[in-house]
Structure 1
Amino acid sequence: MDGQNGGYRPRTAGERTGSAANGDQGVRDWQKNTWFGPAPVNSNPFDEPEDAPELKAIRSENVNEHIGDFWNSPVQGPQDTGSYRQNTQAGSVVKPVRTKTKVTGKKNSHPLRVLLLIAVFVTAVILVLRFAVFSVKEIRVIGNKSIPAAEIIRVSGIHLGDSIFTLNEKKVEEHITSDYRLLFVYMDREMPGTVTLSVAEREPRCWLTYCGIMYVMDKNRMVLYESENPDERPIDLVEVKGLEVRSNTMVGQYVNLGNEQQKSIFRELFQEMKVLSCIDKIADADISNINSILLATRYGFTVALGDANNIHAKLRSMLLVQDKLVELGYSAGTINVTNPEKPMFIPE
């Protein structure tokens, strides 16, 4: 061990670590000036070893203050991102460069805000028009005779304050016709808030007796009322005979017939009577034989119509002949209009 302090001194080139007899080689180049032994104590970490004084000579005294050309030199290579403004003059202070960033959220929110405001405005206008301007304020009823208008309005389902645009005419018709006494004609809207309901009341046109019950019907066989009192038979209505009634019928229902041809004859006969305004001149109609339909007038004449062909012309011919016969003083007999162009009269 070399040295009196127990340390090691550095070996110089040419010294060997062992004897030549042991085959030791000399100190290699990378082993030169190598310190062996414990690290020095109580030493300045910025001081260079005694064997490299040239490093200490060139060390800057301002290394901790970041003053000097090194710290003010521009960044080279890939570190130059353009985010900082560099100044190469000595003693200048480096200031960061602020880049403008686009704020897209606010700009994009403006169209959405405008659209939202427009939607709110349009909704408010629609609500005002629906509930304040174009709402039902008046309901008129035309065509009714015995049924009060207030009852028809109640049945229709229309209420004051309803939107005039949302009224469904089909549903209004269903509501009105649910009352068997009423027929729906049309519904009219008059802006901004008036609704007109046109209806027709079913009128009694004829009657028949089935199982001791009298059924009063309209021209479509709808039963309007019934009675078991024979003294209540309406003298101003046509009594229908010979119909093949299939079952008992209730008020508000159609008389159920078993003969389809009788249904067709009944409908056409009373339709033509209404057109010619002669229902009040006919006392009864016998449809028991569909090929030989017979009528009895209130003047005492019997009318032979034949089949159901050309009923309109036959009824018209019968009316002309009867008026002429009454004028001539006849009060009974048979008027044959099976050929309406050549009527025949057979007196009694």
Structure 2
Amino acid sequence: MTVDQKKVLSLEDRIPKIKEHRKRKANRRLIFLISLFFLLILLVIYFQSPLSHVSEIKVKGNESVPDQTIIKRSGLKSGDNIWKLDKKKAVQKLEDHQEVKHAKVKIAFPNTVYLQIQEYKTIAYVLTGTEFHPILENGLIVESSPKGGVPVNAPILSNFKEDAILENMAKELKELKPEIVNGISEIHYTPKKTDKYHITLFMNDGFEVSATILTFSEKMVHYPSIVSQLDPKVKGVIDMEVGSFFKAYETKGASGEGEQQE
């Protein structure tokens, strides 16, 4: 058999394989086109079905602001197209609320929307008339009254107004550890001619503190160590305006007033 005959035979053997390869390739292309066609149909059906619209809006992370208030504030509604939601605008609306520090909008398959809220912490309460109103860490007074009454360990602020003085007071309280803040019963704004930031504190342990807002957190951080050196049976005023010293209350039959330098 000559070389040319071998080449002819070899080509005849390959023709069926080439045809089979082309057939498989054509079949794969057909399957791809059919799949794409059905996918487009499914997408059209999906966008026309309730699955592409918000079915439920859930709120997470909120404690003070009611769910319905947050949902209404976001501007989102059940039935909205889930792919056309303006999440950025909703977040902006939520964070415009005085009690909301941060907000996020998340979509969970297939059509649930989650509004994740981080509120400003309540650091104290202010007494206005006969009602208590929460004071947030940003210095704002919340108009609504607290649910279930005022917590026992929350300081009550008196004679304050919603101004720079209160804002500074809130910032100073925020700097303190919770255990110190929880030990404060009342904070009265008692300005002097020499110090418009002067405050008077009444502590849960029975002591009174004279201080100024400007150095409040810096001084109050030492309160536990100061009290540990005092006789718990002898109550009085701990002056923290400049230095730190203790002056006992006058008692009947006492020969004088005791002082303890700190």
Q: How does 1:38-117 map to 2 (within 5 A)?
A: none
- CA-to-partner distance for each residue in 1:278-324, whole Å, 9 max, x for gaps? 44321222332445333221222122333514x433232124433x2
Amino acid paired to 2:134 = M
Partner AA of 2:186 in structure 1: D
Change in 2 beyond 3 A, CA 1:268/1:147: closer
Deviations 1:87-142 (A, max 9, x none): xxxxxxxxxxxxxxxxxxxxxxxxxxxxxxxxx99997765565556543443321
* 1:142 matches 2:60: yes
Partner of residue 186, structure 2: 284
Question: Quick check: 1:240 aligned with 2:143?
Answer: no
Counterpart pick for 1:269 among 154, 172, 188:
172
Shift of 1:269: 2.7
**Contact in 2 for aligned 1:204/1:216 (Cα 8 Å):** no
Residue 161 of structure 1 deviates from its aligned partner by 3.9
Change in Cα spacing, 1:238 to 1:276, as seen in structure 2 (3 Å) is closer
Secondary structure of the corresponding residue to residue 210 of structure 2: strand
Cα separation, 2, equivalents of 1:300 and 1:134? 62
CA distance in 1, matches of 2:45, 2:219: 61
Displacement, 1:234? Answer: 8.2
Aligned residue number for residue 224 of structure 1: 143
Following superposition, the deviation at residue 197 of structure 1 comes to 1.4
Contact 2:168 2:213 survives alignment (8 Å) = no
Structure 2 counterpart of 1:163: 81
Map 1:193-342 onto structure 2 (within 5 A). 193-200=111-118, 203=122, 205-209=124-128, 212=129, 214=131, 216-219=133-136, 220-225=139-144, 237-243=154-160, 245=161, 255=162, 257=163, 260=164, 262-273=165-176, 276-287=178-189, 288=191, 289-309=195-215, 311-322=216-227, 324=228, 329-330=232-233, 332-338=235-241
Report the structure, 1 or 2, having the larger strand content.
Answer: 2
> For the Cα contact (< 8 Å) 2:180–2:221, is it kept in 1?
no
Give the Å deviation of 1:338. 4.9
3-state SS, counterpart of residue 54 of structure 2 = coil
Which gives a bigger RCO, structure 1 or 2 (Cα 8 Å, sep 6+)? 2
Structure with greater helix percent: 2
Determine the C-alpha separation between the residues in 2 that align with 1:313 and 1:204.
17
Alpha-carbon separation, structure 1, partners of 2:124 and 2:93: 24
Structure 1 CA distance for aligned equivalents of residues 64 and 158 of structure 2? 29
Contact 2:198 2:210 in 1 (8 A): yes
Maintained 8 Å contact 2:126/2:158:
no
Q: Which amino acid aligns with 1:295?
A: L
User: Unpaired runs of 5+ in structure 2?
Assistant: 1-36, 250-262
Q: Percent identity?
A: 20
Number of corresponding residues: 202
CA distance in 2, matches of 1:293, 1:239: 13
Two-structure CA RMSD over aligned residues (Å)? 4.2
Letter in 1 for 2:82: I
Return the offset for 1:192.
4.4
Distance (Å, rounded) in 1 between the aligned partners of 2:131 and 2:67: 29
Q: 1:278 to 1:156 in 2, by over 3 A?
A: farther
Q: Distance in 2 between matches of 1:121 and 1:184?
A: 42
Q: TM (normalized to structure 2)?
A: 0.55
**Contact kept in structure 2, 1:138 and 1:195, CA below 8 Å:** yes
Q: What amino acid is the match of 2:107?
A: R
Partners in 2 of 1:135 and 1:152 — Cα distance?
Answer: 20
Q: Is the partner of 1:271 in helix, strand or coil? A: helix
Contact 1:276 1:316 in 2 (8 A): no
Change over 3 Å in CA distance of 1:190–1:319 after alignment to 2: farther
Q: Which residue of 1 aligns with 2:103?
A: 185
Deviations 1:254-296, CA, capped at 9 Å, x for gaps: x4x3xx4x144233134235x5354432122233244533322
Residues 37-87 of structure 1 deviation map (CA, whole Å, 9 limit, x = unaligned)? xxxxxxxxxxxxxxxxxxxxxxxxxxxxxxxxxxxxxxxxxxxxxxxxxxx
